[in-house]
Amino acid sequence: MKLALEMRSVSKRYPGTLAVDQVSLEVQAGEVHALVGENGAGKSTLMKMLAGSFDDYTGEIAINGQVVSLHTPALAKKHGVGMIYQELSLAKPISIAENLLIGRLPTKFGFLDKAKLRSETKYWLEQVGLGLNPDLPVEDISPHEAQLVEIAKVLASNPSILVMDEPTSALSREEVERLFSIIDGLKKKGMAVVYISHHLPEIDRVADRVTVMRDGKKVATKAMSETSRQEIVQMMVGTLKEETHNTAARTPGKEILRIENLSRWGFFHGLNLVGHAGEIVGICGLAGAGRSELARVLVGLDKKDAGKMLIDGREVNITSMAQALRVGIAYLTEDRKAEGLALRMTVGENALVGIIPRHSTAGVYFAKRGHSLLGRLMNELVVSPNDPGRMVGNLSGGNQQKVLLAKWMASEPRVLILDEPTRGVDIGAKMLIHDSIKKLADGGHCILLISSDLPELVGLADRVMIMRKGRFSREMPRSQCTEESVLMAAYEGGV
Amino acid sequence: MTTAKTKNSGTSLLAVIDKNRIYIIFAVVLLFMAFFAPKFLNPFNLTTITKTMAMTACVGIGFTIVMICGQLDLSIGTVITMSGIIGLGLKQFVGYELSVPLAIVAGSLIGLINGLLVTKAKINSFIVTLGTMTVLQGLIYFVTGGNSIALSTPDAFAVSDFLSWKIVPLITPRVIVTVVLVVVAQIILSRTRFGRSFYMVGGNKSTAWLAGINTDRTLIIAFVLSGTTAAIGGVLFAMESSAATLNLGTNSLMYVISAAIIGGTAMSGGKGGVIQTFVAILALEILYDGVILFGLGNEVKIFLAGLILALVVLYEAFAIYKHEKTVGQRPELVKELQK
Amino acid sequence: MEQTRVLRFGAFASFVNVFGVYLIALFFLLLGIALQALGLIQNFISLSNFLNILDNVSLLGIVAVGMAFVTYSGNYADLSVPTTMALTGIVAVEMLRYGFWPAVLAATTVGLLIGLINAVVVGKLKANPIIWTLAVNYVTLGVIRLVWANKQIYPETITDNKEAIGWFDGIFRQEVFSNLFGNPLLDIRLPMVFMVVLVILGQFVLTKTSFGAQLKMTGSAKKAARFSGINVDFVVGMAFVLAAVTAIVGGLAITSLSRTGAYYNGAGYDFRAVTAIVIGGMTLAGGRGSIIGVLGGVLVIGFINNIMTLIGIPTLSQDMIRGLIFIIVVGISAKSLRSLGRDDS
């Protein structure tokens, strides 16, 4: 088979670190090549290099046997590299059509050809199963529709090499399946696909070969048929760490949280749920099922339209997050960067921001009062570097997530809602976070765990509520929960 | 798909009204004044309107493009004044044939400096243009010593007469120049790749960059256009009145910002159009003209200008607030409620 | 161990933040000294000139302290400050007929009303702060001109109450310390005291109160602040109220200075305050800088103005140099922030 892409000993240096160190990578035409590694292993940097984001990489890149220089995005595009980013790269006020065909809008006699713009957009949207009006601005569509538009946009650029960086993080199971069948089709047409993901089952499903990176270096490239998840994980972390879950059953204490018939029109209707002290309640559902929306209402970020909410048997009407914190409900958001942390502020400031009122007397804030608590939390969560004065933005994703968790542990909530607490986090950090969650539950907190990570749910939750189309469709006790059974229950009938 | 259907029907009457709100506002204002304002339809009055709006309309072109890019140009007011001073001040030495191009080039140059500082030095455009505005203000006082320039030579009056000559009622050469510039700019903006790139840069800069659009160059061009159209507007006005005062552009900034916002160009970038700004300026001008015709004073005009801008900002804030409340709703649950 | 590190870093960061602008101030101080040594200017190095500099920037300093809270909150600037100043001054003069304190009370009420409107519309409804406050500025201007036409009003024509007029005159002129060191030229007047007190108060509020801590989070990352249980609507709104409060003080002082209530009192204070704030190390991105730094920015402007005046550059032409220095300072600080990996605008 001919090589679609060959990277020969490429390196990229950021001020202070060598992010990619002498990496060589070969991808054949008609191959799906998985690229895995913990956060900070250099895989995203490697792919940005391919997308033309750097003008100062060293080493050689050959596409279809020809050495090319990929020093600008335009050059990368010209050479047929298509990149689907983890973060959406759509312009919100602009129409879907123009987003899709950005950089190569069809023209006739130098003027835009609007009819062609529309028909071409319609065609590509159909490819990813969307029937949206091409003239709609992107800000009017939902996040997972936007993710699919993003994929259509790259497909439309007709690349010979397709790079996907965590393309499924915002998609529902159904849409993931559709994406995989698209990838299968592209493979048959001879396209080379580089697939970056943390999700090993996905890689099992879709990849032909896998390259593992660690600390900016390549560890190995293996055919999927000749390796195992176990081995891949081992190569990623260096030593074999087994991801075990404490399955010792907790005995739930008295009831803390009760919601009755809770509704927010158009998002979720008629939800009933009870949470006890020392219990982890898993909430599972596909993207868009209303999980985060429920959490937002519980902490007062959005207004409920109907129903009741009780804490310790007393009805509460929560209208602001400050109030939710006062009655003891905290919410760890799924969007760490936008909603969780102030990246330009320090670890200490971020971790203590939720409990400013507690460390204040008559409006005067005594930050010092929180220092011992801060030190304890940072040690417990092994935040690295262990320096409260460090800017959060300079930490790795895993450590940022630990700081976010520390923020809510500091507030000592009675009910802690965790929304995808380990999304995009490396395995080491993930295990630490899982340990902390278990400790919190053992300490008598009530945890609502929203997660799409099935092993995490099954491993941690005492019972799992299945959420479908804005309703709880089923409640499964721990004894019934396996990855397969939960998945089946959530997937039943689609989103 | 169900989502697709609901989205398509989402382009409802309200959405259409909202999208074309500036034309509706214009029509309402025009009809109201035509029916109720005394002597509004008098050709002399109408010509006054077109003549007064010509300068701001011209300045609005580049300013709108800068706003579409998600930036702000506070320096346009002083650029207007500067171009008037250069165009008239240098006339006695080099004649209009050289002084006018010099005035316009000076405007472009200010735009270039703004653009370079925003893109290369990576300073916020609010700060950059505040800085160039201040520098220019000082420079203008330094050069003129605080005195306005008025020309009273026969050839200056000839040019002035020509610029205000009514080819047909309402239409003077200066109005023609302005309208042609507006139309050309609008066609480029909405109908060419080059024009669309301004929207892309304003809508999402990194996306535009990744798509191979030279974002720095696009931004610089936007600022150059802003400086250029401000200079053209200023110098033409000064030539027509044969005078360049030091407060020629003082009120333009507020006026043009209002018009752009009322026309639907968003401060956040990626939205709007030159033609909308133009229509908004016309509507405002008609309104102000009517205020005077009703015998009300300048102070009512100022009050109304602020009030209209305030109402539009309020309306937009409210619209976004409502939009964010419903975005992401599940169509089948909404349908259930409607039963 | 951890605790000391927090403290050390915090102290270091604020040191750098404050230090930057005082270095610039020092530069202009040295420039002034050098120019005097070369005989190009006279009387720069004297206690009375330094007091004079402080006196000249005291109004700007007062207004900048409040506006800095708006900048710090990530909302750029409050462009309604000029007419807030004008209106409070006019209302005060108009109300002097009922006595001094009723006048101050009425002026404060009117100023706070504008601040509250800004607070609700920008804080709660999230309107664009620049456009909104610009609109408010013009509405207020319109109101002033509708009610008082283009007239200027003078305390003497409003009332015969000499005592009230005297008190009003005193807002700007009252000497708090006079004849320092027995030198009749060394006086410290009320506005300078206001400025110093407001700077100290402002710095305290910004760095030592729970409101300040919440404001920092709000300015740095508004969404994250909201998701941390901070009432960001209130915090942002409060910043605009504080801007109005200092605009009230500034408005009373400037009206007292000119003994005239007029719509143009306060014109230009919006952009001049922004200049001082940004030179003082605050960035428009929000959450960075300090009030002590803003005072530094005000002092820099004071030095520049003073040196240019001593050289003999006409007041209106001085903008040229001020603007240039502004751009250069901002350019350098933007570049140094970037090289530190703290990229923002």
Nearest to A232 by CA among A259, A253, A201: A201
Q: What is the mean pLDDT of residues C107-115?
A: 98
CB contact under 8 A, B127 and C324: no
C287 and A CB contact within 8 Å = yes
CB contact under 8 A, C209 and A363: yes
Task: Report how far apart, in Å, the C-alpha atoms of B75 and of each of A288, B78, B144 are.
Answer: 46, 6, 19
Name the residue facing A325 among C6, C217, C229 (closest C-beta): C229
Whether pLDDT at A479 is above 90: no
C-alpha span between C101 and C166 (Å, rounded): 12
Task: Report how far apart, in Å, the C-alpha atoms of B186 and of each of A99, B52, B190, B198 are.
Answer: 20, 21, 6, 12
pLDDT tens digits, one per residue of A392-435: 988 888 899 999 999 999 999 999 999 999 887 877 888 899 99
Res C11: pLDDT? 52
B210 CA to chain A: closest CA distance, Å? 5
- Most B CBs within 10 A among C309, C330, C333, hence the mutation to make, goes to C330
**Count of CB atoms situated within 10 Å of the CB of B158:** 11
pLDDT band at C8; cut points 50, 70, 90: very low
Res A493: pLDDT? 45
Helix (H) / strand (E) element for B313: namely: helix B298-326
pLDDT band at A239; cut points 50, 70, 90: low
**Count of CB atoms situated within 10 Å of the CB of A491:** 17
Res C75: pLDDT? 95
pLDDT band at C238; cut points 50, 70, 90: very high
Name the residue facing C146 among B124, B133, B299 (closest C-beta): B299
C-alpha span between A268 and B7 (Å, rounded): 20
pLDDT, mean over chain B: 89
pLDDT tens digits, one per residue of B62-116: 999 999 999 999 999 999 999 999 999 999 899 899 999 999 999 999 999 999 9
This complex has an ipTM of 0.88
Res A259: pLDDT? 95
CB contact under 8 A, C213 and A353: yes
Name the residue facing B131 among C137, C314, C323 (closest C-beta): C323
B278 CA to chain C: closest CA distance, Å? 19
CB contact under 8 A, B8 and A469: no
Q: What is the mean pLDDT of residues C213-227?
A: 95
Residues of B in contact with C132 (CB under 8 A): 310, 313
pLDDT tens digits, one per residue of B27-65: 999 999 999 988 888 888 888 898 889 999 999 999 999
Which residue type sits at A7? M
pLDDT band at C2; cut points 50, 70, 90: very low
Whether pLDDT at C285 is above 50: yes
pLDDT tens digits, one per residue of A154-206: 888 888 999 998 787 667 667 788 889 889 988 998 899 999 886 777 888 89
Whether pLDDT at A241 is above 50: no
C-alpha span between A7 and C196 (Å, rounded): 63
| Contact in structure between C223 and A342 (CB atoms under 8 Å) | no
- CA B79, distance to chain mean position in Å, is 14
Among A271-285, A481-495, B4-18, B212-226, name the one with the lowest average pLDDT.
Answer: B4-18
B7 CA to chain A: closest CA distance, Å? 7
B240 CA to chain C: closest CA distance, Å? 28
CB contact under 8 A, A469 and B333: yes
CB contact under 8 A, B210 and A51: yes
CB contact under 8 A, B268 and A93: yes
Residues of A in contact with C220 (CB under 8 A): 342, 344-345
C-alpha span between C326 and C274 (Å, rounded): 10
pLDDT tens digits, one per residue of C67-96: 999 999 999 999 999 999 999 999 999 999
Residues of A in contact with B210 (CB under 8 A): 51, 53, 73, 83, 89
CB contact under 8 A, C217 and A345: yes
pLDDT tens digits, one per residue of B197-250: 999 999 999 889 878 889 999 999 999 999 999 999 999 999 998 999 998 888
Name the residue facing C210 among A345, A360, A371 (closest C-beta): A360
Name the residue facing A388 among C5, C229, C231 (closest C-beta): C5
Res C16: pLDDT? 59
Res B7: pLDDT? 43
CB contact under 8 A, B270 and A93: yes
Cα Rg of chain B, angstroms: 22
Name the residue facing C227 among A340, A357, A374 (closest C-beta): A340
Strand residue runs (E) in B195-337: 243-244
B270 and A CB contact within 8 Å = yes
Helix ranges, A353-462 (H):
371-380, 397-410, 427-442, 454-460
pLDDT band at B141; cut points 50, 70, 90: very high
Chains that touch C (3 or more CB pairs under 8 A): A, B
Interface of chain A against chain C, CB under 8 Å?
Answer: 15, 301, 320-322, 324-325, 330-331, 333, 338-346, 348-349, 353-354, 356-357, 359-360, 363-365, 367-368, 371-372, 374-375, 378, 386-389, 391, 394, 407, 411
